[in-house]
Structure formats: C-alpha cells, structure tokens
Amino acid sequence: MEQLSGIINYIVYFAITAGTYGILSLGLNIQWGNTGLFNIGIAGFYALGAYTSALVSGPPPSAWDGRIFGGFELPFIFGLLAAAIVSGFVAFLIGVPTLRLKADYLGIATIGIAESIRLVLKNESWLTNGVWGLQQLPSPLYTSIHGGTKELLQQHTALPGWLHDLVANSYNWFYLLLVLGILFILYLIVEKLTRSPWGRVLKAIREDEDSAAMSGKNTFSFKLQAFVLGAMIMGIGGSLYAHYARFISPASFKPLYGTFIVWVMLILGGSGNNKGAILGSFVVWGIWAGTDFLTGYLPFSATQAASIRVIIIGILLEVVLLWRPQGLLRRERRSKTFL
Amino acid sequence: MDILARIPQLLVYGIISGSILSLGGIGVSLTYSILGFANFAHGDIMALGAYITLGLFTLLGGWGLPNTPFAPLSFGLSFILAAILSMGLTGGCMILLDRVLFKHLRRAGSIILMMASIGIALGLRNILQFFWGPQPHYYIEGIQIATRIPALGIRIKPDQVFIICTAILLVVLLHVFLQHTKIGKAMRATADNMDLSRVTGINTDRVILWTGVIGAALATAAGVLAGIENKFITPELGWQMLLSIFASVVLGGLGNIYGAIVGGMVIGISEEISTAFVSTGYKPAIAFIIMVVMLLIKPAGLLGKGK
C-alpha cells in the first residue's frame, strides 16, 4: 500500500506536467493543426509566459538578486492573464513581418525569436536575474492548502501510512485540478472556435491559402489572429509551469523541452484534432517518463541515458511521420458535430 | 576612439567566422534550392563531420601516421587527411539519411521535411553526446602566437589564415564544379525547375544525391574549421551556429548559393563588429535582427530574384 500511494503521487506529478504540455500542444494546434503555421519557437512564448507571470505575481528582488525590477506579488490570476497578453503581443510583433512569407521563413523566424528571447532572459539581469533565474515563486493558495492539510494531519494521527501520504500531497492534487481545469476550459474555447466560421477560414488557409484569399478572406489577418491566439495559450502554459516549479531560469526553455517535444506530442496525437493534441501530450510525456525509468537499468552514465531518451523521441517522430502522418486521432472531416 | 581602433581587428574575426558561416550556408542553400526545404539538421551535420574527423584523427594517429605540424600551422598531415576523409564519410551519412528518411517524405511536402530534419538534428547531436559526452574535445593543444601586422592594426594567427584560404579554395572548387561539370550544370538546372529538368532527361535522383554529398562535405569543412578556430569541439557546435547560418542564407537569398557566401560574410562581420557596441551574449540575436530587417525590406534576399 505504501508503494501504491507513492505511485499515485507520482502519477499526480506526472499528470500536472503532461497537462501543462497539453496546453502548449493545444496552442500549437491552433497555429499548425488548423492554420498550417510552422511555429518552431514555442519555447519563446512559453518562456515569456513563465517570466511575465513570475514578475507580476512573484516576490520582489531579494538582497542577493541581480534584478532591480518586477515582483509585484499580485494574485496568480493577474500573472496568468499578463502571461497570455505579453506572449500574444510578442507573437503579434513577430507575426506582422513574417506571416506574409512562406512557411520556411516563419519557421526560421520563430526559432530565431525563441533563441533571442532566451538570450534576453540570460543577459538582462536587471529584469530576469540572468542565468540564476527567478526563485521562490508563489504557488496559488499554497499556504492555505498546505497549512490546512498539515493541521488536518495533526488532528488525525491514526491514519494509515498510505492515506497519510496521499493527503499530505494535497497541494499537488489541487494543482492538478487547476491545470486540468484550465486545460478543459481552453479545450472548450478552442473547440468552439475551430468549429466556428472563423475556424473554417483557418482550415481553408491551411488547405489552400490562395483559394481562401480568392474567396475574399483577408488571409494575413486570419493567420495573425491564429498565431496570436496560439501564443497566448502557450503563455498560459508558461505561467502554470512557473507557479508549479516555483523556479524558472533560461535553461528551462531550451528548444528540446520547450519546442521539440510539443511538436512530437501534436504530431503523434494528431494535428488538427484538439483531443489528439491533448492525448499526444499525455502519451509522449508518458514515453518520456517511461524511458527515464528504463534507462536507469542500462549501464550508462546519466548524460548518456539522457541522450538515449532524446534519440528515442527523435526516432518516434520520424516513425510517426513515415508511417502514421495523421497521428493517433485523425482530424475530423466535419466541422459541426450535429450535422 | 577606442572602439574605432578595435574595428580592423573585429573585421578580421568577422571574415574568419564569415568563412565558416559561408561554408555552412552553402549546404543549407543547396538543399533548399534542390529539395525545397530548410534543413535544420545542417548544423548537426557540421558537428558530425567535426567528430568523425576527430575519430579518424585518433585512428590515423594509432596507425602511426605522423602529425608533425606543418609550421607555422598547429596541425599536420594526419589531421588534414582525417578531415578530407571525414568530408566523404559525412557525405555518405547524408546519403544514408536521405535514403532512409527524407526520400520517403519528399511527397509529404517541405514542412514535413523540415520537421523531420529537426528530429534528425536532435538525434544526431545526442548520438554525438552519447559517444563523446557533452564536454569539449580538443583539436589543438597549446597556444599559437598571433602575428602582428602593424600597418593594418591587426593580429592574426597562421591557423586563421588557413581557415580563410581553405574557405576560398572550397568556394572556388564549388564554383568550377557548378559551372563546368555536367553534374554541376544538372544541379543548377534542377534547382531552377525540377520537373523541367526531369523532362529533359536529367537524372534528378543523382542530382539529389550529389546535393547531399556536397552539402555535407562543406558542412564538415565548416565544422572542422570552427574546431580549429575554437581549438575544441562540442556536440552543440553546429546548433550554436545554425541560427547565424540561416540568417546568412536568408540574407543572401534562400536557395542562392552565391548569396549564401555573401550573406555569410555580412553576418560574420556584423556579428563581430557588434561586439564593440553590445554585449557578446547577443551575437546570435544580431544575425537574427539583420535577417528580420532583410525579410521586411526584400524577402528574396540580397542576391535573390524577386518573385
């Protein structure tokens, strides 16, 4: 039983991360799955969201910080909203010059913006504390939930060990609900939007931009809207990550974890399908976590094991592209379910 | 005044890094013009070539091949031999990748190919990291003294002269190849219009093969030269330069080989000169900003034809 509660607590932790990735994947699905925008700078918007939220809701600079600005200690919800707004705004700025161009250019430009954002985070210590990152970020309602659980456990000392462990993990349970709740709300919004006339224009652009333009649609404007909306959702993902990890640094937003794995999630799950986007994030994160477990048994060093895991994810991507390009859940043909 | 006095020296550094970026950029541009996609694995092909060179160098040393440095350079026969062999071997790896993967995805379109190349990029880098570890491996031990040229106000090392000369030599060879050999002409025709070339009887499969080999061989040269300049190589070597390489290629005109050379020089020099004014940490961002400005003004690039 003791072991079981350990496993359950691990699953909770696992699902929080997978759920956060689900949000990123959902954001990418608007851009790539629905509109065909090749954004490989997800990490940039993810980082922007995390840092914005940390600066809005986080603590002011401490004595040993390199930073002299930020940390307004506003409630979490303001951080979350600010994260979405800032990510969306930057997406707007980058989208205006690049969305008129071919997909190749957008790809190169977005990976460039992601790396540039990371350089700013690294170099502008006055705002971001440089490579040391932002620490001791608040988790929403942490003191009340954690304190309340502690009190409860002190009152009920006779609880069996496994139940004690599960209850003691209450904050993670709460955060899981928060992440899944936000994921669900975003899913409903995205689902509604992509099935609306607006979403049908996006799909028309994905299939054939010229004919969409010929039908009188301002394709540039629609692409920009989709790009900004996707980036806002990615920013929300960043905010949720920051307030759970409670520590962020430029190293958290490297292309591998920030961008590549999200792409594998969406492509494996099924690009163009919102359920697929979420499914993919859980499956791929499951494989990722599983390989961590497996490589532990192999006679390799920690860095070698890490390399093997990335190679496995890389092979997974190529296999999906070669043999199941539509992903686990193919995109739905009909845009309205009741027809 | 102090800043101005540094400019000639920074210009030299810029030409050195521009030579390396140009060699890397040619491969990206070739792939783009013939296969129609931006190959994100190109940086890691550079790193692969640099590591294969390292492996061969160790192997040749084991066979007792002499490596007495060609004075005043800091490396000798077996190193140069290893690099040349590695150019061929890396080209072979590229053919293999094309046969196993890219060939089957060609019909799926350029974006899927780009996506696949990102997977290859991460895979290759981690294969290198698996075998050699993330730590730097030294190409060259010891310090080479730079020669001062007071008339120009610069200092330059013999190795750096070698880098610039090798880059020029390779570019000239490529030019001769493209302009005067049959396969070179076929490559230019295919880049211009693949369907028409196929109709005229050009074996486009062979052209694609050659594209991969030449791109990978030049990438290897770029990786090795970067290793000589830095004295060491890491698995991240190519990835760190990829953004600047893309910037050069876009600047010169995506798909235009001569544009890649010009673009590489402009980006290399701008990056180095920028260090006189902004923190060195922002070097890759400088390349990116130049690229975005270019995209705003003339998306076809410096030497590109506006379509």
Q: Does A218 reach chain B within 8 Å, measured CB to CB? A: no
For residue B307, pLDDT over 50 is answered with no
pTM for this structure? 0.91
Question: Which of B39, B98, B130 to mutate: most A Cβ within 10 Å?
Answer: B130
pLDDT attached to residue A144: 86
pLDDT attached to residue A336: 56
pLDDT attached to residue A270: 93
pLDDT digits (tens, 9 = 90+) for B164-201: 999 999 999 999 999 999 999 999 999 888 889 999 98
Judge: B112–A325 Cβ closer than 8 Å, yes or no.
yes
pLDDT attached to residue B100: 93
- Do residues B203 and B185 touch, judged by C-beta distance below 8 A? no
For residue B99, pLDDT over 70 is answered with yes
Mean of pLDDT values over B129-143: 89
* Helix/strand/coil (H/E/C) assignment for every residue in chain A: CHHHHHHHHHHHHHHHHHHHHHHHHHHHHHHHHHCCCCCCCHHHHHHHHHHHHHHHHCCCCCCCCCCCCCCCCCCHHHHHHHHHHHHHHHHHHHHHHHCCCCHHHHHHHHHHHHHHHHHHHHHCHHHHCHHHCECCCCCCCHHHHHHHHHHHHHHCCCCCHHHHHHHHCHHHHHHHHHHHHHHHHHHHHHHHHHHCHHHHHHHHHHHCHHHHHHCCCCHHHHHHHHHHHHHHHHHHHHHHHHHHHCCECHHHHCHHHHHHHHHHHHHHHCCCCHHHHHHHHHHHHHHHHHHHHHHCCCCCCHHHHHHHHHHHHHHHHHHHHHHCCCCCCCCCCCCCCCC
pLDDT digits (tens, 9 = 90+) for A157-177: 777 888 888 888 889 999 999
Q: Does A104 reach chain B within 8 Å, measured CB to CB? A: yes
pLDDT attached to residue A334: 63
Q: Does B279 reach chain A within 8 Å, measured CB to CB? A: yes
Q: Which of B79, B83, B90, B44 is closest to B235 using CA atoms?
A: B44
Which residues in chain A have Cβ-Cβ distances shorter than 8 Å to B120?
Answer: 314, 318
- Ranges of residues in chain A with a pLDDT under 70 are 1, 333-339
How far does the CA of residue A117 sit from the closest CA of chain B (Å)?
9
Question: Which of B31, B101, B111 to mutate: most A Cβ within 10 Å?
Answer: B111
Whether ipTM > 0.85 holds is: yes
pLDDT band at B68 (very low <50, low <70, confident <90, very high): confident
pLDDT attached to residue A43: 96
> Of the candidates B32, B105, B114, which has its C-beta nearest A38's C-beta?
B114
Judge: A263–B115 Cβ closer than 8 Å, yes or no.
yes
Calculated CA dihedral for residues B175, B181, B186, B187, nearest 10 degrees:
-30
Nearest residue in A to B247, CA atom: A108
For residue B228, pLDDT over 80 is answered with yes
pLDDT digits (tens, 9 = 90+) for B244-253: 999 999 999 8
Terminal Cα-to-Cα distance of chain A (whole angstroms): 49
Q: Does B116 reach chain A within 8 Å, measured CB to CB? A: yes
Judge: A112–B105 Cβ closer than 8 Å, yes or no.
no
Nearest residue in A to B121, CA atom: A314
Most confident of A51-65, B110-124, B145-159: B110-124
> Of the candidates A108, A109, A311, which has its C-beta nearest B127's C-beta?
A311
Q: What percent of chain B has pLDDT over 90?
A: 66
For residue B19, pLDDT over 90 is answered with yes
Nearest residue in A to B36, CA atom: A104
Which residues in chain B have Cβ-Cβ distances shorter than 8 Å to A113?
Answer: 288
Q: What angle (nearest 5°) sits at the alpha carbon of residue A325, between those of residues A190 and A285?
A: 65
Judge: A108–B285 Cβ closer than 8 Å, yes or no.
no
Mode of pairing for the β-strands spanning B147-149 and B137-138: unpaired
Q: Which residues pair with A248 in a beta bridge?
A: A134
Judge: B295–A307 Cβ closer than 8 Å, yes or no.
no
pLDDT attached to residue A339: 43
Candidate from A65-69, B264-268, B293-297 with smallest mean pLDDT: A65-69
Count of other CB atoms within 10 angstroms of residue B78: 20
CA–CA distance, A197 with B101 (Å, rounded to integer): 38
